Chain A
């Protein structure tokens, strides 16, 4: 009777021995490294996350629309303004820090990041005047040759700073007489949007000082149908969408801004019932001439409600090509859109639920939903 337990024990030992010998070799020791960024892809997107619930901790997430992976992060402080250099090599973030985290002495600064490594590459300290506001591409911007960097100031008096990013200096400040934001064009011109519906255009000399200023004719009616300040880059300038769905195109390829007659994204029956609404209210594929706009049914006061659908337009023909009912497809309201500029474009749509949807920009097919890409993704930038 006592031999049975012994046999069992021997069997167990034998089994264990076999298992030990059958186990794979141990993993090799690892070397801690820093992951390099892969080569830049047109399907990357920089996602501006204001981190609204804890605003002193905003950031940019770099996301790949092909692999659906986050590639890295750029810290962005408090209510930041963001722009990429014309060559795409640098990200400029104008932000604010407080000496004691959430309080204390305010420091406004432009921080530069090397986009090949996502490592900080320099900074320029600003006067504590920069506009702390919702994200637009006109809060900060480079001249087309990259020699000037302009930063919108609001104290609430409106002006802008002229910076030399190559030498890391503030060259000066130019008053804009109540007109706001910085729309850079050419190597030395900046326009601001005025309460009267006009553009104020400053021309700078080689030292970044004001050489001339000119006020355009009104190109929209701010009382009857104001335009969103979230302009969208076109081939020769920008398109501005109005609350009621008009498209105002501004050509900035000449000596002065030129305005083409506005066209409507809505039919007479839809006017006032369907309208654009979002934080980043449109995106344009410049090669294809296609405009993508989050649209929703709603009346006055709903211009920041996100889109229940994305409407696609042919810019040249002024006609709607498609309606993509993204909410019906399971997404929450779309608050920001961006489209890659390559021949096989991706449309990115950031939602109220902080998801970022990846769609085929030609067919509207939903390819992927990246859940919770940050906390409040309110703007996206192409690399």
Chain B
């Protein structure tokens, strides 16, 4: 456990060093402003399962260390019947979300991703993952992953989380 923790910390620091985000954050701010009322939402969760709990390989969407999950907080839909960008059968995507930027070491690009939740069933309970690169507290909801993103759904019950690529982040 300790060595895995160390591995994760090292991995997170490496990722942070490799990623330049100032311009991405500016773009993101504009994007969120454009999104107007669709501020960030919810998903609870405190800080359990870090990457240290993820057994699959880092390049697997079922791994907490998968590059798209750099600030995800919840259960990975990939482990719950969905994929990293699709909700499990019988659930409903959250129409509101918050947006982050993750670095893909596979192609060296930064991507803007949307952290949606899948809603309408109780929590999946599989592959919990809590990563928080550039995550901010609740007073900055556009960067917060503690809120329940399902809050505005007809059924606000949280099931799992996805990370959907919106596009390449401009430098």
Which residues of A does B touch, CB under 8 Å?
A: 50, 52-56, 78-79, 96, 98, 102-104, 106, 131-135, 154-157, 179-181, 193-195, 222, 226-229, 277-279, 297-306, 327, 332-333, 335, 352, 376, 378
The residue in B37, B39, B50, B122 that gathers the most chain A C-beta atoms within 10 A of its C-beta is B122
Q: Spot the interface stretch: B59-67, B103-111, B143-151, B162-170.
A: B143-151
Which residues of B does A touch, CB under 8 Å?
A: 1-2, 5, 9, 12-13, 16, 37-42, 44-48, 50, 70-71, 73, 96, 120-123, 125, 128, 130-141, 146-148, 151-152, 155-158
The residue of chain B having its C-beta at the shortest distance from the C-beta of A352 within the complex is B48
Determine if B9 and A133 form an interchain contact, defined as CB atoms under 8 angstroms apart: no
A134 to B122, CA, bound (A): 16
User: Which residues of chain B come closer than 8 Å to A332, judged between CB atoms?
Assistant: 1
Determine if B9 and A299 form an interchain contact, defined as CB atoms under 8 angstroms apart: yes
Subset of 20 A-B contacts with CB under 8 Å? A55-B122, A103-B155, A106-B155, A132-B147, A132-B148, A133-B44, A154-B151, A156-B39, A156-B96, A180-B141, A194-B139, A229-B138, A297-B9, A298-B9, A301-B70, A303-B132, A306-B47, A333-B5, A335-B48, A378-B46
The residue of chain A having its C-beta at the shortest distance from the C-beta of B73 within the complex is A304
Determine if B146 and A300 form an interchain contact, defined as CB atoms under 8 angstroms apart: no
Question: Nearest chain B CB to A273's CB is how many angstroms away?
Answer: 10
Determine if B122 and A222 form an interchain contact, defined as CB atoms under 8 angstroms apart: no
A179 to B139, CA, bound (A): 6
Further contacts, 11 of them, CB under 8 A, given A154-B42, A300-B16: A50-B44, A56-B157, A96-B156, A106-B156, A154-B141, A156-B96, A193-B137, A301-B134, A301-B135, A302-B132, A376-B46
User: Which residues of chain B come closer than 8 Å to A179, judged between CB atoms?
Assistant: 139
A55 to B161, CA, bound (A): 14
A155 to B146, CA, bound (A): 14
User: Which residues of chain B come closer than 8 Å to A55, judged between CB atoms?
Assistant: 44, 122-123, 157-158
User: Which residues of chain A come closer than 8 Å to B47, judged between CB atoms?
Assistant: 277-279, 304-306, 335, 352
Question: Nearest chain B CB to A141's CB is how many angstroms away?
Answer: 15
Determine if B155 and A156 form an interchain contact, defined as CB atoms under 8 angstroms apart: no
User: Which residues of chain B come closer than 8 Å to A305, judged between CB atoms?
Assistant: 5, 9, 47, 50
Determine if B13 and A299 form an interchain contact, defined as CB atoms under 8 angstroms apart: yes
A193 to B137, CA, bound (A): 10
Determine if B12 and A302 form an interchain contact, defined as CB atoms under 8 angstroms apart: yes
Question: Nearest chain A CB to B107's CB is how many angstroms away?
Answer: 22
User: Which residues of chain A come closer than 8 Å to B136, judged between CB atoms?
Assistant: 222, 226
User: Which residues of chain A come closer than 8 Å to B158, judged between CB atoms?
Assistant: 55, 79
Question: Nearest chain B CB to A129's CB is how many angstroms away?
Answer: 9
User: Which residues of chain A come closer than 8 Å to B70, judged between CB atoms?
Assistant: 301
User: Which residues of chain A come closer than 8 Å to B122, judged between CB atoms?
Assistant: 54-56, 102
User: Which residues of chain B come closer than 8 Å to A306, judged between CB atoms?
Assistant: 47
Determine if B44 and A180 form an interchain contact, defined as CB atoms under 8 angstroms apart: no
Determine if B155 and A104 form an interchain contact, defined as CB atoms under 8 angstroms apart: yes
Question: Nearest chain A CB to B7's CB is how many angstroms away?
Answer: 12
The residue of chain A having its C-beta at the shortest distance from the C-beta of B139 within the complex is A193
Determine if A54 and B157 form an interchain contact, defined as CB atoms under 8 angstroms apart: no
Known: A132-B147, A156-B96, A194-B139. A304 touches B39 (CB 8 A): no
Q: Identify which of A157, A228, A335 contacts B137 (C-beta below 8 A).
A: A228
User: Which residues of chain A come closer than 8 Å to B50, judged between CB atoms?
Assistant: 305
A96 to B122, CA, bound (A): 13
The residue of chain A having its C-beta at the shortest distance from the C-beta of B40 within the complex is A156
User: Which residues of chain B come closer than 8 Å to A227, judged between CB atoms?
Assistant: 137
A133 to B45, CA, bound (A): 7
The residue in B41, B133, B156 that gathers the most chain A C-beta atoms within 10 A of its C-beta is B156
